[in-house]
Amino acid sequence: MYVDHPLIKENSIFYRDYQVKIVEKLKSGENYLIVLPTGTGKTTIILLYVADLLLNKPEARILFIAPTKPLVKQHYEYFLENLQIERYKVTFFTGEMAPESRKLYWNRNIIFSTPQVVVNDILREYLDPRNIDVLVVDEAHHAVGNHPYVQLCSFFTNSTQIIGLTASPGDVEKTKEIMKNLRIVRCIILTRGDQELRKYLPSLNFKVVKTDVDNIFLHIISLVRDAIRVRINNFNKRIEEIFSNQSSGKSILSKLSLSDITFSKLIELREKILNAFTEGLIPSNVKKELLLIIYQLTLLDRLLKYIESYDWSPFIRYYEEIMQRVIYKRRRAEKEIVMDRYLYEAYVLAKKKEEIGDLYPKVKTLVEIVDRAEGKVIIFVSLRSVAKLIYEHLLNKGISARLLVGQQDREMTQQKQLSVLDDFKKKDIKVLVTTQVGEEGLDISECNTVIFYDNPVSAIRRIQRIGRTGRTIPGNVYFLVNPKTRDEGYLWAGLKKERIVINEMKKLSSLSEFDLSLESFLSHKDLVEKNVRDSKTGVMPTVIVDFRESSSPVVRELRSLGVNLQLKDLEIGDYIVGKFVIERKTFEDLASSLLDGRLFEQLKEVVSSGLNSILVLEGDERSFTRRLSKEVLDGTLISVVADFRIPILISDSPRSTARYIYRLAVREYKKGTKIVPLRHKRKPSSISEIQKYIVAGLPDIDATLADRLLRRFKTVEKVFTAALDELASVKGIGPKIAEKIRKILTTEYKPEIND
């Protein structure tokens, strides 16, 4: 049975009741996060919704963003293939198209793009976000931290409906962050186990395959572990010597074990060492000694990972890379690694294995599975170099295969990626070997078998890999595991995380009508002063934000508080509130700008703006004192206050910074203070800068409007003599500002009594 709709091509979309029900919910106009397994038709849901929207509102404009260029083009082609619409009303953008060319296409009904392109065009004023009816965010689990998705969504107001799509948003806390960043208030979550999907999806068979490992392989691993144990013992011995009589020190730095040697734990331990030094618990020489050991352990952990989970080659190449560093940079840490007898023996044994052509255990097992497999096979592996090795080995065995990797590889252009996918779909190609680029979003055709060459702990990556099979036909999923290695731990840790995420998603979806109100996430309701909103206009206090700050957590907090944010390319400062310009720095930023000599120049520019200046210092001062002394910090703060007359606010977090800015905005709003436009951040030197500086002195004219006026009238004289209607016709001026300008220019000067 097919979908019957005037704007859907006949016999193109199979009818699925869960998709139709979700479309009905989207018609409410509320912002939604849609979480469905890979291959269950998230894009189809949007297609159906867009068709319905255009049927009832032909002038509607939809912006569909995706994180990669191939994915953008894929969505574009899918809509053209299935939507009954004139081709000229649909377009797609990537960074490869010149900005001036894109400017002509922003009036199309449906636009597909990568997020950074949209951000850039908004800043160029090619696109007014208020003109977009629906914003679709594909792979919405990226909408965290400083991802371009977060920055992009900060431009949109409540007049635009935002719909996020993902196969797995992560745990509950990450889901909350995604929804908060996208201003989403409702969530629809279905898993393969839900009845709504189960009747449409075939079965999946999961198989853990342990490889046959020989004694030499296990001995190589044992040697690397011995090298790690030497460093662990040295670290523990030093800790015991230093803190034998200090209970406070032991609470900060404790002894290590082999299970602690992971990249994330070593980074955490590095921070603890720096904190112990900052607090005076360890002297400088001990700090350096301990950090040297931690650095060596990160190198050794990487070597161990390569040999335990990937192949002889990455282990050998990385060891040789370390050797090159010793030759050219003469670094002590690497020199000790190269001179380690355990590691050198491991290197010689692995090199011998490679030279005689003895296949790595996983590669042997992989070939056996591929030979037996029926239909198409996708092999997932995280390392690009190993993906190439597997691909070349399959070709040497006479197995038809294609390689799909990211565009960091210069040979793998966007066109090459699309060509590889097309070959795998349409030609008699049995195997696709791919890295993480193949996990996410790309329309890789149905395959019978998915093979996990390595085992990512990330639940999102596991779910995405598994989703490549079992869509319309039963699928097989193989997990390759080298016994007695980290593979075993990663396999079960990943499975546990996946189950936790699925269970948490089920809890979310069990809420009434999938309702997940954003209000429940905002713990700072006490800050939202409802009475601040103007009862007549509905306007909230305004804060101007430099666009480089748009993805910061401060901006997200301000938006959740209801502040009216205006993003601009500020020449000085990060925020403007009324007559105040605010420079925001973390303590680490403060140290960096002091070391490179930028700090005092920046402060001079802030002071010269003519606005009241505030410096907000955010975070922990230890991030400053790790690089410079406490005395330097004290001297810097005194100079800021005494020499530059700039008050300092200390903030412990982005949320506290947002609170300061919000309170100031409320105060200025209640006083009726209008935002003062900024002129140049420095004294103008060129003629064009001087011209802009003069024009920017007119009422309500900032640097951007000054530039527009000069572009229109060519000279300062013609700007000053332009008629009222001529001024009003310039974008951003209008009758009111034009009238102010003419009044200033034509009113006779009358000096004040005190002048």
What does the DSSP assignment read for 508-520?
A: HHTSGGGB--GGG
In the structure, what pLDDT confidence band is assigned to residue 755 with cuts at 50, 70 and 90? very low
Length of the chain, in residues: 755
| Higher per-residue confidence, 542 vs 315 | 315
- CA angle at residue 161 from 540 to 14, to 5 degrees? 170
Query: What are residue 330's DSSP bridge partners?
Result: none
pLDDT at 540: 67
pLDDT tier for residue 509 given thresholds of 50, 70 and 90? low
Task: Tell which residue, 196, 145, 146, 136, has the closest CA to residue 166.
Answer: 136
Q: Select 687-746's CATH number: 3.40.190.10, 3.40.109.10, 1.10.150.20, 3.40.50.1100.
A: 1.10.150.20
Burial 454-485 (b: 16+ CB within 10 A, else e): bbbbbbbbbbbbbbbbbbeeebbbbbbbbeeb
Please check whether residue 106 is in contact with residue 139, taking contact to mean a CB–CB distance below 8 angstroms: no
Alpha helices in 643-723 (DSSP H): 654-671, 687-695, 703-713, 716-721
pLDDT of 522: 36
Secondary-structure percent of the chain, ordered helix, strand, coil, rounded to 5: 55, 15, 35
Q: Regarding beta strands 204-210 and 431-434, do their DSSP bridges make them parallel or antiparallel, or are they unpaired?
A: unpaired
The mean per-residue pLDDT over the stretch 381-390 comes to 94
How far apart CA 322 and CA 330 sit, in angstroms, is: 10
For residue 658, give both structure tokens.
């947002």
> Among 313-317, 444-448, 464-468, where is mean pLDDT lowest?
444-448
Which residues have C-beta within 8 Å of that of residue 274, sequence separation ≥ 6?
Answer: 287, 622, 626
Other beta carbons within 10 angstroms of residue 354's beta carbon come to 15
pLDDT reading at 110 higher than 90: yes
**pLDDT (tens digit per residue) in 635-658:** 899 989 988 889 999 999 998 999
Dist CA 678 CA 676 (whole Å): 6
Architecture of domain 361-484 in this structure:
3-Layer(aba) Sandwich (3.40)
Residue from 362, 271, 242, 237 nearest 311 by CA: 362
Q: Which helix (H) or strand (E) holds 432?
A: strand 431-434
Is residue 538 scored above 70 in pLDDT? Answer: no
Does CATH number 3.40.630.30 belong to domain 215-355? no
Reduce the DSSP state of residue 295 to 3 states and report it. helix
Of 128 and 136, the structure prediction assigns the larger pLDDT to 136
The token duo for 71 is: 């994915």
Rounded to the nearest 5 degrees, what angle is found at the Cα of 481, between the Cα atoms of 480 and 486?
140
Using 50, 70 and 90 to split pLDDT, how confident is the model at 443? low
Give the residue carrying structure tokens 């969530």: 187
With a cut of 50, say whether residue 21 has pLDDT above it.
Answer: yes
- The candidate with the shortest Cα–Cα distance to 662, out of 557, 567, 525, is 557
Tokens of residue 449, six digits: 């078998």
Domain ranges, ordered by start, for the chain: 17-198, 215-355, 361-484, 525-671, 687-746
**Is the pTM value of this prediction over 0.85?**
no
- The predicted model gives 102-128 an average pLDDT of 88
Domain 17-198 has CATH 3.30.70.20: no
Rg of the chain, C-alpha, whole Å:
30
Which residues in 690-704 are b (16+ Cβ under 10 Å) and which e?
Answer: ebbbbbbebebbbbb
Instruction: Confirm whether 361-484 and 525-671 share one CATH topology.
Output: yes
Tell whether the torsion through CA atoms of 627, 631, 634 and 640 is positive or negative. negative
- Rounded CA-CA distance 4/55 in Å is 13
Question: Can you tell me the distance from the alpha carbon of 556 to that of 181, in angstroms, rounded to the nearest whole number?
Answer: 7
Tell me what the pLDDT averaged over the chain comes to. 85
Q: What CATH code is assigned to 525-671?
A: 3.40.50.10130
Kindly give the pairing relationship between strand 90-93 and strand 110-113. parallel
Which H, E and C letters describe 542-554, residue by residue? EEEEEHHHCCCHH
b/e 2-29 (16+ beta carbons within 10 angstroms → b): ebebebbbeeebeebebbeebbebbeee
Vertex 255: Cα angle to 251 and 257 (nearest 5): 140
Q: With bands split at pLDDT 50, 70 and 90, how would you rate the model's confidence at 514?
A: very low
Does residue 24 have a pLDDT over 80?
Answer: yes
What number of other Cβ atoms are within 10 A of residue 118's Cβ?
A: 25
